[in-house]
Amino acid sequence: MTIRTRIAPSPTGDPHVGTAYIALFNLVFARQHGGQFILRIEDTDQVRSTRASEEQILESLRWLGLGWDEGPDVGGPHGPYRQSERMSIYQQHARQLIESGHAFYCFATPDELDEMRREQQARGETPRYDGRGLELSPSEVQRRLGAGEPHVIRMKIPAEGVCVIDDMLRGKIEIPWSQVDMQVLVKADGMPTYHLANVVDDHLMEITHVIRGEEWISSAPKHQLLYRYFGWNQPLFCHMPLLRNPDKSKLSKRKNPTSINYYRRMGYLPEALLNYLGRMGWSMPDEREKFSLAEMLTSFDLQRVSLGGPVFDVDKLNWLNGQWLREDLSADALVQRFRDWAFNVDYLGQIIPHVQKRIHTLSDVVPLAGFFLAGMLDVKAQDFENAKLSADQVRQILQFSSWYLDGERAWNIENLSAGLTTIAQAMDIKMRDFMIPIFVAIAGKPQAPSITDAMGILGADISRARVRHALGVVGGPSKKEVKAWEKQYRAIFTSDSDAGE
RNA sequence: GUCCCUUUCGUCUAGAGGCCUAGGACAUUGCCCUUUCACGGCAACGACAGGGGUUCGAAUCCCCUAAGGGACGCCA
C-alpha cells in the first residue's frame, strides 16, 4: 500500500503557520515511506473563501519548500483538487446516504436553531440538534422539497453507546455518541460541509493517513461513522498537538503573528522557520536543534511526537534563524538573500517614489525610509507623547486602529484611509492629530511619507504587528477598559459594514 | 456546563521501570575572548502538577484530584 497524506487548507485568510506545521508532518511522513503528499483546497465556505487567499497559501508553502505531488496547480489523477469543483461528487454521495437511511432532510432555519440552542443553554443542557427533522413524515418531506423550501442534509447519529477512535499517537479515544451532534452534511446553498467533503475526498483520493490538528478529535466520530455508512475503509488518524500562544491558548492572530507572510517579511529564512516548526512537538533522535527538511526526512519517526501543546517561542526562532544565517550562508550567499528579501527592484521600486521629493542626497534615503526595511521598531512611550493628544487618546487610537487593521481583509490604501478616517471621526479627533500615533507606530517617528501608502507597501502583517507593538509600549486597555472600548469600537463600525470584524 | 486531549526547568524538549544526583537547547545571570557591540567559549540558575496504588525499584505503568487546552456552527 502506498502511503498518501494530505494538507487541506481552507482559503479563508492569511497563510497560517499552523497550516505549514501540519503540512510539514504530513509531507515528511509520506515521503519517508516513499508515499505521496497532496494538497487539496477546502473552499466549501462560499462566503469566506477567496482565490487570493488560496494563491497566498500555495505560495507560502512553496516558499517554505513544502512541495506536493498532487494539487490544484499541478494536477494529478484524483482531481479536481478544489472542493468547489467537486460539487456533483458530494451531491451524489449525500443522496446515497439519504437513500440508505443514514441521512435526512432538515428544514429548520438558522434562526430557529439559534433559538433552540439558547433554550437548551438556559436549561443548562449541552447545545445540540434535537432531531426535529427526523419527525417529519416522508410525504411531508417530499412536499416541502417539492415546494422548494430551503433545507440542509444532516447525518444520523447512534442514540447511545460510545465511539472508539484509534489515534496513532493517543491510542483509543472513547467518545459517547450522546456527545455527537447530527451534523449538517450539505448546507442550504448546496455546498457540502467540511465533514462530508473531507471524508469523501480522502477516500476518493486514497488518503491512508490523516494527520491533522488536535482540534479535530471531537469531530472524528462523525468522520469515522461516515466511512462506515459508505462502507469504506477508513484512514488512520493522527492528531497533532496544537501550536500555542505564550499564554498556552491555541495560536491565534489576536495574540501572535500567525501569518507565514509575517515571518517572511520579518526576514526569517524558510529553512529556519521550517526547522523551528519541526521542533514543535518533535525532536531528532540525537536531540540536535538544527536540521534541514532532508535531515528530518531521513530521521523521522512519528512516535517521537510529544503531545503537550508547544508554545511558539519567537526568541528561540530568532536564535535558530541566526544559526542558519551564520552557519549555512557564505557572505556572498547572504548578500544574495538580502537582495532577494527587500533590496530588489520590486520592493525598492515601491518605496523610492515616496522619498524622492524629500531627499537631497542618496544618503538621505536610509534615514528616511529605513523603517521599510526594519522589523519591529524600537519605539518608547515618550515617542508617542504630543501636545495634541492625551495619553489615553493615544492608547485608544492605537487600540481601535489595531482592531480595525486586524479585521481589514482587503488591504489597500483606499480602504485603510477610509477605515482610519471613520475611527478618527467617531472619536472626534482631527485626522492630522489622529495620525500622529499611527505614524510613530509604523514609521518610528511622527513625520514620514504617507502612512497609508507605507502600510500598503509594508503589507498587512508587519503593519499590524507594529501597531500592536506600539500599543504594548503605551499600554493597552486594562481588563475593565477592554469591555467599554470594544463596545465603542463596535459602535463605530456598525453603520459602516466594510471594515472591522 | 458537557465531552475529549494534555501535564518534565519561564519556553522547546531528552527520558519506553533500575543507566536520573533527571540530560540538551532558548531565555536569564556571571566570567573569558574582544577597541565597542555582536558572534563564540565556559559556568550558574532552573523542572518530573498533587495524592494514592502496582513493583525489590517509578519521571516512566494504573487510579483519583488539580491545572491548562480543545470541541460543542448551514466555519474549517
A424 sits in the region (left: phi over 0; alpha: psi -120 to 50; else beta) called alpha
Query: Which amino acid residue lies closest to nucleotide B10, measuring CA to C1'?
Result: A246
Residues of chain A falling short of pLDDT 50: 496-501
**Cell 518610528 found at:** A444
Burial of A479 (0-12, 13-18, 19+ CB in 10 A): exposed
**pLDDT on residue A446:** 86
Residue that has been written with the C-alpha cell 478529535 in this structure: A217
Scan for cell 453603520, then name that residue. Answer: A495
Gap between the terminal Cα atoms of chain A: 46
Question: What does the pLDDT read at residue A137?
Answer: 86
Using CA atoms, how far apart are residues A151 and A184, in angstroms rounded to an integer?
10
Of A171, A178, A169, A191, the closest CA to residue A221 belongs to: A178
Q: Give the active site residue among A156, A253, A388, A480.
A: A253
Cβ contact A83:A201 at 8 Å = yes
At residue A126, the pLDDT reads 81
- C-alpha grid cell for residue A153? 442534509
* SS3 label, residue A186: strand
Closest residue by Cα to residue A324 from A268, A263, A260: A268
Q: What is the value of ipTM here, to two decimals?
A: 0.96
Count of residues in chain A: 501
A 134-153 residues, CB < 7 A, strand B = 150, 152
Handedness of CA A251, A257, A263, A268 (dihedral sign): negative
DSSP per-residue string spanning A191-251 = PBPHHHHHHHHHHHTT--EEEEEGGGGGGHHHHHHHHHHHTPPPPEEEEEPPPB-TTSSBP
Say whether the CB atom of A283 is under 7 angstroms from strand B: yes
Q: A315-354, pLDDT tens digit by residue?
A: 999 999 999 999 999 999 999 999 999 999 999 999 999 9
What pLDDT does residue A495 have? 53
Q: Is the CB of A12 under 7 A from strand B?
A: yes
Tell me, what's the pLDDT at A410? 86
Q: What is the pLDDT of residue A272?
A: 98
The per-residue pLDDT for A403 is 92
Distances (CA, A) of A196 to A12, A108, A213, A224, A230: 19, 20, 18, 11, 11
**pLDDT given at position A491:** 86
Contacting residues 78-117/A vs strand B (CB within 7 A): 108-110, 113, 117
* Nucleotide of closest approach to A9 (CA, C1'): B76
Contacts (Cβ under 8 Å, ≥6 apart) of A312: A17, A243, A244, A245, A246, A251, A256, A280
Q: Whole-angstrom Cα distance, residue A96 to residue A317?
A: 49
H-helix or E-strand spanning residue A113: helix A110-122
Element of type H or E holding A167:
strand A162-167
**Dihedral sign computed on CA atoms, order A292, A295, A300, A304:** negative
Q: Following CA atoms A452, A500, A312, A458 in sequence, which dihedral angle do they give, to the nearest 10 degrees?
A: -10
Task: Name the closest residue (CA) to the C1' of nucleotide B13.
Answer: A283
Which residues are within 8 A (CB) of A188 and not within 5 positions of it... i.e. 6 or more apart? A150, A151, A152
Chain B nucleotides with an atom closer than 7 Å to a protein C-beta? 1-8, 10-16, 23-27, 39-40, 68-76
**Helix pair A220-230, A194-204: axis angle to 10 deg:** 50
Q: Can you give the pLDDT at residue A487? A: 87
What's the confidence (pLDDT) of residue A89?
Answer: 97
A253 is catalytic: yes
| pLDDT for A499 | 39
